[in-house]
Amino acid sequence: DTEVTQTPKHLVMGMTNKKSLKCEQHMGHRAMYWYKQKAKKPPELMFVYSYEKLSINESVPSRFSPECPNSSLLNLHLHALQPEDSALYLCASTMPGDTQYFGPGTRLTVL
């Protein structure tokens, strides 16, 4: 089983809203990732958690706040987003050094 799940599938939010994206995997992977993907572009890495610790933060604005409550769950808290933050947000998981498996993504629209 190589399934990574993400909820919600679609999200529309205003610039003053607070919302969260959720990612879950039950493959025993110990590294989890958030990517942002704009149309016609490759995914851009945002954050990496390794063994529940934040190991990489690619200079992402503080309006994006990741959280890893346990080894199976990864959240991305959103606050005061801008319209240019509208994108597909992908979660991935892996054992360090192994293949990354991606979830189906959350399509976020910021009005």
Which range in 11-19, 21-29, 43-51, 68-76 contacts other proteins by CB under 8 A? 43-51
Nearer to other proteins, 63 or 104 (CB): 104
| Cis omega (within 30 of 0) for bond into 8 | yes
Q: Any idea what the Cα angle at residue 56 is, between residues 36 and 34, rounded to 5°? A: 25
Q: What values do phi and psi take at 85, rounded to 5?
A: -85, -5
Q: Which region holds residue 69: left if phi is over 0, alpha if psi is between -120 and 50, else beta? A: alpha
Among positions 41, 51, 61, 77, the unique one binding other proteins when judged by CB under 8 A: 41
**Residues, the chain, total?**
111
Q: Does 8 bind other proteins (CB under 8 A)?
A: no
> Could you tell me the sign of the dihedral formed by the alpha carbons of 51, 85, 39, 25, in that order?
positive
- Min. distance of Cβ 64 from other proteins in angstroms? 17
Among 13, 22, 63, 104, binds other proteins (CB under 8 A): 104
Pick from 51, 61, 96, 109: which binds other proteins (CB under 8 A)? 96
| Interaction site with other proteins (CB under 8 A) | 2, 33, 40-43, 45, 48, 56, 88, 90, 92, 96-97, 99-105, 107
